[in-house]
């Protein structure tokens, strides 16, 4: 299955949450949010849930563990956000982390909000809508590997990253 980030859909009932409560928290921690957000959910993902919050003139992506998640290491949203925030100055393709919430009274668990980066989520099958021939598919794959190499070239011993551990 492949999708573009534009293919957010209605939130599944079992993945819903009190958007008004989250909206209030976000507005208290992120400047420039006006009005009530529209909420949608991105499909897929290995274990954690990803949502699109659309405000007038601004889009945010919210990540959280699924309701009832019990494996802390697989659903540590705070760590995920802190790793991305620490990487951002060294790897500009990481989205900016806008706010991290570890107050369970807001959503029932930790979550974070980040800037929305538009792009294509590549899964097993490349989206036909991209119209890629064999040569363009090869360039896409090589570009992916180049970005992965760039990421692995970052010196994890720098003070800004050293605290992350393994």
pTM of the model: 0.85
Neighbouring C-beta atoms of residue 70, cutoff 10 Å: 8
CA distance 148 to 14: 34
Low-confidence stretches of the chain (pLDDT < 70) are 1-6, 45-46, 68-74, 166
Residue 6 has a pLDDT of: 53
CA distance 29 to 25: 6
Closest by CA to 49, choosing from 40, 36, 37, is: 40
Say which residues have a Cβ less than 8 Å from residue 166's Cβ, sequence separation at least 6.
none
Residue 152 has a pLDDT of: 93
Assign 76 to helix, strand or coil: coil
């Amino acid at each position: 299955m492949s999708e573009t980030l534009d293919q957010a859909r209605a939130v599944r009932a079992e993945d819903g949450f009190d958007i008004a409560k989250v909206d209030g928290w976000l507005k208290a921690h992120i400047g420039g949010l006006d009005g009530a957000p529209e909420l949608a959910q991105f499909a897929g993902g290995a274990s954690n849930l990803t949502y699109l919050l659309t405000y007038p003139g601004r889009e945010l992506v919210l990540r959280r563990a699924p309701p009832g998640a019990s494996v802390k290491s697989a659903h540590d949203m705070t760590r995920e956000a802190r790793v991305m925030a620490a990487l951002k100055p060294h790897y500009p393709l990481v989205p900016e982390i806008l706010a991290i919430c570890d107050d369970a009274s807001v959503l029932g668990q930790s979550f974070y909000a980040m800037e929305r980066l538009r792009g294509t989520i590549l899964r097993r099958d490349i989206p036909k809508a991209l119209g890629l021939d064999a040569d363009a598919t090869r360039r896409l794959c090589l570009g992916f590997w180049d970005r992965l190499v760039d990421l692995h070239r970052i010196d994890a011993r720098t003070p800004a990253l050293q605290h992350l551990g393994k």
